Structure formats: structure tokens, C-alpha cells
Amino acid sequence: MDKDGEVLYNVKLWCDTSTASECNEIEASYGSGESILSEAGNRILPGYTASKILWLKKNYNDIYIRMQHILLPHDYINFYLTGKYTMEYGDASGTGLLNITKRKWDKDVLHALDSDRDLSVCLPALIEAHETAGQITKFISSRLGIPAGIIVSSGGGDNMMGAIGTGATDVGVITMSLGTSGTIYGYSDQPVIDAKGNLAAFCSSNGGYLPLLCTMNCTVATEQIRSLFEYEVKEFDKIASKAPAGSEGIITLPFFNGERTPNLPNGKGCIVGMDMTNTKKENIFRSSLESAIFGMRLGLESFKDLGFKVKEIRLIGGGANSAVWRQIASDILNLPVVVPVQDEAAALGGAIQALWALDHKGGKVSDINYLIKEHVSLNNDKGCFPFPKNVKIYNDVYKNYNKYVEALRGIFS
């Protein structure tokens, strides 16, 4: 945005992997990917804001020179409503510009992005999740009919709000979201930096930390296959349920958007393992469902490696509506799967966080976990447990899945 708060250009979406080269440039300027991971908490990946800024500088420098403010979309909405430039720590950690352990904008990363300009002056004030972004202005009141002075809470990213809306704000609770992208995350009261780089070291939107694995392909994979064969969702699920666990050896690598974890920005979708006996619609359909969960299993294993004690998975997102997908998730992850009553968990999380901010504004310093216990409930009818026979099958299939990924890594790069 320019000095007057006007949007300058339609910048690239987070899931646009064409900025992989800009990521490499920033890391090389910093020193290395390993050094930026150990010192700032996250490597610079295409899904973060940092590379999008450098892309703008390289391709539209005349616009870049006029840039005076950098906001994420929901922060822009807060700015529109309040006239104030703010960002809370959860979303800030997803820009690639925040030092996770120091909870400050990282000047060394900013210098690596642009050594000639102090970009820190373009970044908004950081606020805690229980603080307000501001109040509804008179202009917005006259335009939208919202009473002037109403507080606007900090808000946060979809995963951070989903964590609140599912109760993943206390140690031991893991949430998995099956949306366009796939995510799995859990709460920690200390920074969690995964030396392998599988889990992003994010802050939560309730004052703690939210280590998170994100894949760029979840319902993307199933939608691609479903559209190819021209089936509706219910019919697709019905056909997929006819195939056995493991899809008789057919494995899908669902990298239709490239991939973030594993870091394969130039990855492609592949269907492998087909032969004269197993090439059937039901196997291909089920394999696309299984593939998204294999990506999530990498995150679950990373959590366990870091000492997390996982008792169950709380499942949200569009994929949570599929009974066959819920059971596949339970079997591949070898954990019980439960589903919240409120399927729009991120929206519920936003409402709970706003109530938390309202309490603080009124002088009532409440624990957000009390509010979560009051408002978040689970739908026991949609829960499921792993089938031991399928767990054993999927352990072998997952090994084969990883072999295919490694075999094709050189081609994708």
C-alpha cells in the first residue's frame, strides 16, 4: 500500500510457487537456509510473504518504490475498519519476516530481502492476540451501519483461528484441516523449531506457539480427479469406498500445485503403481483421498519426534464431511478422529477470540481456554477409530509413497 493506504497492485497469492527463485535469493543473501532456520525460526518458502515482496521489487520496481505499508489481507480489513496498521503474532510468523523466538520483525531477514531500504518502517505494529486492532471509525459506521466505537479484535490466520475453534490451544490437542491445502498443528507454550524444517515455527493467536505443517494439495487432489472423471462429491466418495485400503498398490503424489512440505515448488501430480489388474476408478479415487493424509502423516511424525504426546486428531475443513476420508485419516495416522460440532471452526475461533478481546478491553482478564471449553464441543457421531488391519497396510503403503517421492525429487527440482 502507498502512504495514503491505497492498494498498489494485486500481488501473488501464498500458494503461487513461482517465487521459489526469490526464496533462494533471500536465503543466499542471509547466508543459508539452515542459518535462517536456526536463527529466525523458519526458512523462506514460497508460501510466505517475503518472496512475494521481492518479486514485486524485481518486476514492478516503480510500484515497489511507492510502497509504504505491508499488510496481509485480514490486516487490511482491520485497517479499513479502524484506520490503524496492525498485525498479530500468529499471522506475522507466516510472513517469513518475524523472528519467532524474539517475537520481533527480523532486521537481518529484511536486510537480506532489500539491503538498500529499511523495510521495517513498512511493517505494521505487532499486537498481542487479546488486544484490539482498533475501533470502528465514523466513516465506516456511516458506510456499513456498524456503530462507531465498536472494537475490532486482532483476528488471525485461518489455521490460528481454527486452533481456537477446535481447542488446539492447550498442550496435547492436535487439529488437522482438510481444505484446499492441508494442515496439521498443535499448541506449545514455548517456541518449537523443527530442525528438519517440516513444521513451520509459527506463533498462535492466543499468546503461545503453533508449530504447523502445511501442504498445498489436499482437496485440490480429490477435486482434480473428481473433475477429470466428472462425478459429484457423494458419488465420488461412494465409488472410493469400494476400494480396499492401499488402493491395490495405486499411489497418488498430489503435487498439482507444486508442494510446500516436502519443499517441492516445481512438483507435479502423479499417479503411480498402475498395472493390468488394479487400474480401476475406485482405486484411483481412493488413492487421491489417501495421498492427502500421507502428507499429514509427515507432520504427525514430526510432532512425535519433537516430544508431542498425541491422543486424537480433531478434524475440520471440507474433507471432514466425508465419512470415508475420516476413516482413512484415522487408519493412516493410527489415531482416533473426532469432529467439532461447529464445522466452521475458524469462524468460531474468530468469534471466541473477539470475546476474549472484549473481556480484556472491559478489564476482565480471562483465560481463553475457559471460553473455548464453554463454546467448543465435539460431534461424537462423526468420530472414528483406526482399524488395526488397515493400520498395518497403510504403514507399508506410506513407505512406498515416500520411495516414490524421493525417486521423483530430482525430476521435480
Spell out where 130-211 has E strands. Answer: 132-135, 151-153, 174-178, 182-186
Distance CA 47, CA 17 (A): 7
Sign of the Cα torsion 182, 187, 193, 196 reads negative
Say whether 8 sits in a helix, a strand or coil. coil
How far from the centroid of its chain's Cα atoms is residue 269's Cα? 20
Question: What are residue 282's phi and psi, to 5 degrees?
Answer: -60, -35
Cβ distance 213 to 200 under 8 Å?
Answer: yes
Q: Which amino acid is at 29?
A: S
**Taking the CA atoms of the chain, what radius of gyration do you get in angstroms?**
22
Q: Which residue has the cell 489388474?
A: 277
The amino acid present at 108, given as its one-letter code, is D
Q: Which residues contact 132 (CB under 8 A, 6 or more apart)?
A: 151, 152, 153, 154, 357, 361
Rounded alpha-carbon distances, angstroms, from residue 321 to 52, 165, 234, 313: 34, 17, 10, 15
Q: Annotated catalytic residue: which of 158, 194, 237, 331? A: 158
Residue 114 appears among annotated catalytic residues: no
What does 211-251 look like in DSSP terms, one character per residue? Answer: -EEEES-SHHHHHHHHHHHT--HHHHHHHHTTSPTTGGG-E
Closest alpha carbon to 254 in 237, 267, 241, 243 = 267
| Strand, helix or coil for residue 98 | strand
Q: CA 388, CA 51: separation in Å to the nearest integer?
A: 44
- Residues with a catalytic annotation lie at 158
